[in-house]
Structure 1
């Protein structure tokens, strides 16, 4: 929290060091979140850049007393939703990142990250987004519903179906 306040204040005062710290502190997290939604390296990189551009444009309206990550997560989610709507859900598995997204809980998963990445990529985008927001970001159903502009019941349904689809896919591939 203290780090965020320092970053925001430096940025608001026009110091380049503030922007450098902002990117350093959150670039990886923004990228992983964007990638979890769009499943394409270059698109996630573009979205990450756009998140930081929007952050710089809005820096004067940010409250130094509030944490940055919830705001950045919301911007990332909104940009990813807009991107997916433009692309109509066309996703590529050609350029998987080296560090794969771990959505499932557990200390020693029996599946590989590549298995999970492929299974996630096959989910409908809103199911995948709900799953990532719930299990990677730890958001409550109500928060996910607000972020995705969906009723809470729909979020629960998407999560149920996404988990079932992931489980079926991993079982079909012989992953326990």
Structure 2
């Protein structure tokens, strides 16, 4: 474990709690009917309960295609994207992964690979791993889902100029409506 200094004012205390609460309360939209009419489909929501932008870095498909593609998004926001089996395919599902970069400042970042599946045979799966390769997210996806907490501690200063440290935590919950939550966990 190491401490990595970043040049960012870290949101702490009540302000962080309020912003996290706002993201947590955001409604996840119902998947569109025409998506649900597909043979196999999945809708993924990423709740970014951090102050940091998340940049889409890569995509991997074992099967299927995007219905609604993901992109980058801001801190304290949520992203919803969806995938389905490929047009004209027979007995295939949809399985793959994405890589996102949590942009901590202009020189530091934390890469995560998220995996999701709704295969023709088998269970819904989801997973997360620290990686810059989208296929790694797919490879760690499991029916139980998963989580990770960064080994490194990131340190900046709060608005009063005091040191503020945090870790990144990511959880993955599988299902037709897969949920990923990215958290900024303050540490003493």
The answer to which structure has the higher helix fraction is: 1
The answer to which structure has the higher strand fraction is: 2
Smaller-chain TM-score bracket: under 0.3
TM-score, normalised via structure 1 length = 0.27
TM-score, normalised via structure 2 length = 0.26
